Amino acid sequence: MVSSAFVLIILAAVVFVCGCTGTQTSSPQQGEAVQGIFVGALLPLTGDYAEGGEASKVALEVAAGDINDYFTAIDSDYRVGVIAEDTETDPAVALEKLQVLDEQGVRIVIGPGSSAELNATRAYADEHGIVLISTMSTAPSLAIAGDNVYRFVPPDTYQADAMAYYLKEEGTSAIVPAWRGDVWGDELEKLAMASFKRGNGTVLDGVRYAPGEGDYAGMVADLDVQVGRAIATHGKEKVGVYLISLDEAAAIMEAAAKTQNLTKVRWYGCDGNVLLDSLVTGDAARFAAQTRFTGPEFGRQDRAASGAATIQKIRDILGRQPDGYSLVSYDALWTVAMTRTQTDTTEISKLKIALEGTAGEAGGPLFGSVELNGAGDRLTAHYTFWSVEADGEACRWVPNAQYSIWSAGAPPELERIDA
């Protein structure tokens, strides 16, 4: 088990060390021995989840610099390095890239991004003694006790309830879902709409589309017809569209802007499309602002405030607001690095015990300790709801509410922060 006192001292020093040494990755003096900590990263740098992958890549680069600055400041000969591979948001490619990392001797990998990619790689990881730490996958069916997968984010059982709760608070009584047809999209749609129905909401059939479809004219036309029927029955003020997508949200909205009914109702999103830059800077921005597009991001604003300097550093490099999952990636690298300073074991069972100890006792500088359930998923859930708002000729993301589950079985709390 990792020493709690040691890890807490390390994390308490982070603010001082990073503030004094800057963001450059430091190296030992010439002739000094280096103990390398090599961590793999499977990131969707291209494809349908590229914005999320890019944000996590930047967060990992910043984390590596901060960690190495810390090691330098305490005269440690440890240095951390990240070997990043682009999965292209493709499950088959994710598996190929995991095999590449395996051939290089990497035993701990942060990623992959989407649940479909994790589903394609977890069996190989189990069979070859590799630990996967996903900071973006949330499909509940991938919560499997005893495997080599950890998810430092909560499963979508929490997000589904958060979305249903928010819809009710907003006065929406009828929802038409449109969702990405993969393991993540199918499960989130089913869970969120079931939760909405339990609150006496009405759910129409909606539209399911295939990943990588490209041309969304047909699915948008179908969606427009269903929304028209919902407006006739419930009134436009009570109807909403629930979009479960990745980066393709922009293309869908561009098509929706040309329809008869889809501009008349509120649109809601999810963790896969909230904070997308393409929804505030591209052609879809006007539609997103007109429909007050709103979705949940993992994390709380007050937690973000405590790590403001680090988040600003990531934002400056990225050029936009980093999403919560990228910030979890930052913490994940700290957790792995601190675990490896305590053990260099290649025995998977011992490595998992050490990793769980570090995560549970300290975690990372931004989110703190990570309480995991029996399947290795985060137990608590906190979401910030963001909306697209017009700001003169431009558009921007604005936080408006926080939703929290502080412990398993606890009642939810929704706090407005837009007043």
Q: What is the pLDDT of residues 340-367, one digit of tens each?
A: 998 888 899 999 999 999 999 999 999 9
162 & 283 share domain:
yes
Query: Which range (171-175, 219-223, 271-275, 407-411) has the least confidence?
Result: 407-411
Whole-number pLDDT of residue 30 = 45
Query: Which range (158-167, 280-289, 401-410) has the least confidence?
Result: 401-410
271 & 341 share domain:
no
307 & 365 share domain:
yes
Distance (Å, whole) CA 147 – CA 132: 9
Query: Residue 19 above 60 pLDDT?
Result: no
Distance (Å, whole) CA 325 – CA 401: 18
- The string of DSSP codes covering 177-218 is EEEE-SHHHHHHHHHHHHHHHHTT-EE---EEE-TT----HH
89 & 219 share domain:
no
What's the one-letter identity of residue 233?
A: T
Q: Are 262 and 220 in contact (CB under 8 A)?
A: yes
166 & 258 share domain:
yes
Whole-number pLDDT of residue 29 = 45
Whole-number pLDDT of residue 408 = 65
Average pLDDT score, the chain? 90
Number of independent structural domains in the chain? 2
322 & 203 share domain:
no
286 & 165 share domain:
yes
404 & 275 share domain:
yes
Q: Measure Cα distances from 211 to 149, 184, 248, 272, 332 in Å.
A: 24, 11, 9, 13, 28
- The string of DSSP codes covering 23-65 is SSPP-PPTT---EEEEEEEEE--SSTTHHHHHHHHHHHHHHHH
Query: Which range (49-53, 61-65, 199-203, 297-301) has the least confidence?
Result: 297-301
Which backbone phi and psi does 214 adopt, to 5 degrees?
85, -60
Structure-token pair, residue 358: 């570090």
Distance (Å, whole) CA 232 – CA 226: 10
Distance (Å, whole) CA 113 – CA 271: 12
Distance (Å, whole) CA 107 – CA 105: 6
135 & 235 share domain:
no
- What is the rounded average pLDDT of the residues 281-291? 94
70 & 137 share domain:
yes
Domain that holds residue 176: 157-299+382-416
* pLDDT 10s digits, 65-81: 999 999 999 999 999 99
Whole-number pLDDT of residue 304 = 66
Q: Which residue has the higher pLDDT, 33 or 46?
A: 46
pLDDT band at 33 (very low <50, low <70, confident <90, very high): low
Q: Are 123 and 149 in contact (CB under 8 A)?
A: no
Whole-number pLDDT of residue 410 = 74
Q: Are 336 and 287 in contact (CB under 8 A)?
A: no
Tell me the CATH number at 245.
3.40.50.2300
pLDDT band at 9 (very low <50, low <70, confident <90, very high): very low
220 & 177 share domain:
yes
Q: Which residue has the higher pLDDT, 137 or 393?
A: 137
Whole-number pLDDT of residue 243 = 98
- How crowded is residue 25: how many other Cβ atoms within 10 Å of its Cβ? 18
The residue among 107, 142, 108, 139 whose CA lies nearest residue 123 is 142
Query: Which range (57-61, 172-176, 391-395) has the least confidence?
Result: 391-395
Query: Residue 3 above 70 pLDDT?
Result: no
223 & 118 share domain:
no
